[in-house]
Amino acid sequence: MTGLRVLVVDDEPLARRRIIRLLQGYDRVGAVFEAGDVDQALEKLAEHFPDIVLLDIQMPGGGGFELLARLDENPPVVVFVTAFDHFALRAFEASAIDYITKPIEPGRFAQAMERAFAAVNRNSQAERVNELQEALETLKRELRAQTRDSIEFWVKSNSEFLRIAAEDVICFQADRDYVRLHVASAEYLYQESLARLEQRLDPAEFIRIHRGAIIRRDAIARIKPAPFAALLVVLSNGLEVRVGRTYTAAIRAEFLR
């Protein structure tokens, strides 16, 4: 198969499949490989020598930073796939190394791929190393700033990106490979698994009551019985969330003593 070799690195299979489907529309793309973590990615890099890597920044067990740090002196062109603050990433718009924010828009994906194609043809090995190092340091600074500040989510609403602070979210509900964020009078989709999101939330403020739901503790208005000895949590905005069977005992012990 002719064409450029592309490696897709993301720990979520659905996210990888979405990117691979988008890549199928490009004549310049030949073989496409995928990896679910850093170790798999390193194996694919050594075996297939991809020209372009589409790299998720945050992955359990080692993310994009760790992979970039272990690349040799002949790195591929890297396009970051990230949930970082959309506006903070404006600094990368003039760079040959581009980024794509989640959820991925086909138009923005096409723009990033065109830049990647141009970088493959234009950049020398030395330039790629320098660009990778510069981009890595900038992203690390953004990550440190994001970690210091309160958790926030940038979500797409019509043609705009809105900032939703974690303290404004009443409930997080799993919705396939997205999370539905419920605020007082609206709801938005955010691309992240509920399991990964739970790792970032303060357990003193949020509690998981179902495998598909995490709620804000101080948003609980009341708890009422449901059929078959189940429980329903009613939140401050009127949303009713069923307590999962494996969480019922813990909810009773904490709130219904």
- How does DSSP assign 153-183, residue by residue? EEEEETTEEEEEEGGG--EEEEETTEEEEE-
To the question of domain 152-255 being in CATH 3.30.70.20, the answer is no
pTM over 0.85: no
pLDDT in the model for residue 93? 44
Map out the domains of the chain as residue ranges. 4-148, 152-255
Q: Do domains 4-148 and 152-255 have the same CATH topology?
A: no
Range with lowest mean pLDDT among 24-28, 79-83, 186-190, 234-238: 79-83
Confidence of residue 253 (pLDDT cuts 50, 70, 90): confident
In this structure, are strands 160-165 and 152-157 parallel, antiparallel, or unpaired?
antiparallel
Tokens, residue 102: 């989640």
Burial 141-161, CB ≥16 within 10 A → b, else e: ebbeeeeeeebebbbbeeeee
Its sign, for the CA torsion 123, 125, 128, 130, is negative
- Provide the CATH topology of domain 4-148: Rossmann fold (3.40.50)
99-125: pLDDT as tens digits: 787 778 899 899 889 988 988 876 555
Range with lowest mean pLDDT among 80-84, 185-189, 249-253: 80-84
153: nearest Cα among 136, 137, 140, 167 = 167
